[in-house]
C-alpha cells in the first residue's frame, strides 16, 4: 500500500464519498445524504468527518457530528479493496479525538441490526450495544 493520508471531509469530495457509501453494504442512505444536506451537516460540524486517501483516491470515510451534547457517527465506509488494514479504526479515532477537542464526552453510532460485520467491528473496538434505548424517527420535511 502506498502512503495513506487522512484529511477532513469537504463537500468538494461529495461525489466520490457518496459513490463509496452507495457501494458499501451496511450503509443506509436516504434524502438526508443528498448534496445540500451533507453540505449543511459539514458546515455545522466542521473538522469532525474525515476521508482516508491513497494516491489521491478516497478509500475510506466517516461522517461524524454532534448536537452540542453527544457525538454521532452516521457513516463509516472503507472501499472493499482496503478493508482489514486498520483504516476504519483510524478514521473512528480521528473523529472521536475531534469530538473530544470540542468538549463532547460521549458518542453514539447507528448500526443496522442486520449489519453483522459492522456490529462486530464496533464491538471489537470497544463500543457497546445499548439494550436500554430505541432510536425513534419521524420525517418532518419533504
Give the pLDDT confidence of 73-127 residue by residue, as tens digits. 999 999 999 999 999 999 999 999 999 999 999 999 989 999 999 999 999 999 9
Element (DSSP H or E) covering residue 59: strand 57-66
Domains of the chain: 4-124 (3.40.630.30)
Q: Tell me the C-alpha distance between 112 and 114, whole Å.
A: 5
pTM comes to 0.92
Task: Map grid coordinates 418532518 to a residue.
Answer: 140
Beta-bridge partner residues of 64 = 73
Amino acid at each position: 500500500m502506498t502512503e495513506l493520508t487522512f484529511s477532513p471531509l469537504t463537500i468538494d469530495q461529495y461525489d466520490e464519498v457518496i459513490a463509496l457509501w452507495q457501494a458499501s453494504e451496511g450503509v443506509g442512505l436516504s434524502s438526508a445524504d443528498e448534496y445540500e444536506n451533507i453540505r449543511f451537516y459539514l458546515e455545522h460540524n466542521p473538522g469532525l468527518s474525515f476521508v482516508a486517501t491513497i494516491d489521491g483516491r478516497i478509500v475510506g470515510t466517516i461522517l461524524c457530528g454532534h448536537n452540542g451534547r453527544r457525538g454521532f457517527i452516521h457513516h463509516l465506509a472503507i472501499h472493499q479493496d482496503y478493508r482489514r488494514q486498520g483504516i476504519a479504526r483510524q478514521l473512528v479515532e480521528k473523529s472521536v479525538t475531534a469530538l473530544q477537542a470540542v468538549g463532547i464526552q460521549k458518542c453514539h453510532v447507528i448500526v443496522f441490526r442486520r449489519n453483522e460485520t459492522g456490529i462486530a467491528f464496533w464491538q471489537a473496538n470497544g463500543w457497546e450495544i445499548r439494550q436500554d434505548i430505541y432510536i425513534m424517527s419521524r420525517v418532518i420535511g419533504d
